[in-house]
Amino acid sequence: MSDGIPAETPLLSASKLLASILSSSSEGQPLSSSSLAKLKLAHKLLSNLDPYLDEVSSKAPEIQKPLLKATAENDWEGAWKRGETMFQLTPAWSAGAYEGNFVGMMTRIMNAKNALEVGMFTGTTTVCIASSLPKDGKVIALEIDPYLANFVKPHFDASGHGDKIDVRVGGAAESLVKIGEEGHQFEIIFIDADKPGYLSYYKTIMEKNLLKKGGLLVVDNTLYKGSPFAPEIVDFDDEISKPNADAITEFNKVVAADERVEVVLLPLRDGVTFIMNKE
């Protein structure tokens, strides 16, 4: 260990290989065969990491499979062209098996009875949370697009856990205020919605005491393509990625400085932050 940074990780191994290529290369010169071999190894380290995590982690739980299949097979483009969806949705928005198992496991680790999900999409994470709750548990799932609420309904009903799931259609900002007024509190909250909304969702969650003391807030995409520490990765003129990147950078800064919580950002997929409300 040096300065708290582990001596060797897959990313650091790739970074060292790339640094060595950079130090031995000069502009206009072809790469030596040794540099090319290092480049290939760095690429292998980076591109094989996520597939390896999938390979040695549990496969999709039975409860999630019908939703993953329906998500993959739905005609999203047709629905968008017919004006049925609010956004041009894509199956890639689904967290999939790995993150589904992850949030399900976190729900069980937290011994949660009350869970909140901000950004439901096709419910592939919602069912993993619901099936991890006790019989009398509840997950409130917030989703702005009514098309998705209709999409998930038959699947939630067939899952055997539909009675634990309360889908609220509308903007998360308004829904969170309403949930606060209703007096709900949660042991676990999972945020995976519009990135520019993250900070306001966080502020409402903290101000309205939606997260119990000792409760866990899990926030997805907090490394947003690496943009918080390598902003050039996002095109400055990109009307979606640039505001998303800026919002995540600001979110991470504000949360890290908040004395009320304990924060750990994990380099898992596109970054997942654990925020624990201090006792």
Ligand X SMILES: C[S@@+](CC[C@H](N)C(=O)[O-])C[C@H]1O[C@@H](n2cnc3c(N)ncnc32)[C@H](O)[C@@H]1O
The residues of the shown chain that bind ligand X, judged by CB under 6 A, are 87, 93-95, 119-122, 124-125, 142-145, 148, 171-172, 192-194, 197
CB of 157 to ligand X, least distance (A): 18
**In angstroms, rounded to a whole number, what is the distance separating the alpha carbons of residues 187 and 23?**
49
**In angstroms, rounded to a whole number, what is the distance separating the alpha carbons of residues 99 and 268?**
9
**In angstroms, rounded to a whole number, what is the distance separating the alpha carbons of residues 210 and 190?**
12
Q: For residues 13 and 145, which CB has a smaller minimum distance to ligand X in the complex?
A: 145
Q: For residues 20 and 225, which CB has a smaller minimum distance to ligand X in the complex?
A: 225
Task: Determine how many CB atoms are found less than 10 A away from the CB of residue 273.
Answer: 23
CB of 228 to ligand X, least distance (A): 18
Q: For residues 187 and 194, which CB has a smaller minimum distance to ligand X in the complex?
A: 194
**Percent helix, strand and coil across the chain, each rounded to 5?**
50, 15, 35
Burial of 3 (0-12, 13-18, 19+ CB in 10 A): exposed
Q: For residues 181 and 232, which CB has a smaller minimum distance to ligand X in the complex?
A: 181
| Dihedral-angle region of residue 276 (phi above 0 means left; psi in -120 to 50 means alpha; beta otherwise) | beta
Q: For residues 121 and 186, which CB has a smaller minimum distance to ligand X in the complex?
A: 121
Structure tokens at 216: 């866990």
CB of 167 to ligand X, least distance (A): 11
CB of 117 to ligand X, least distance (A): 6
Q: For residues 41 and 147, which CB has a smaller minimum distance to ligand X in the complex?
A: 147
**In angstroms, rounded to a whole number, what is the distance separating the alpha carbons of residues 106 and 102?**
6
CB of 148 to ligand X, least distance (A): 6
Q: For the stretch 83-96, what's the b/e string if a residue is b when 16 or more beta carbons lie within 10 angstroms of its beta carbon?
A: ebbeeebebebbbb
CB of 120 to ligand X, least distance (A): 6
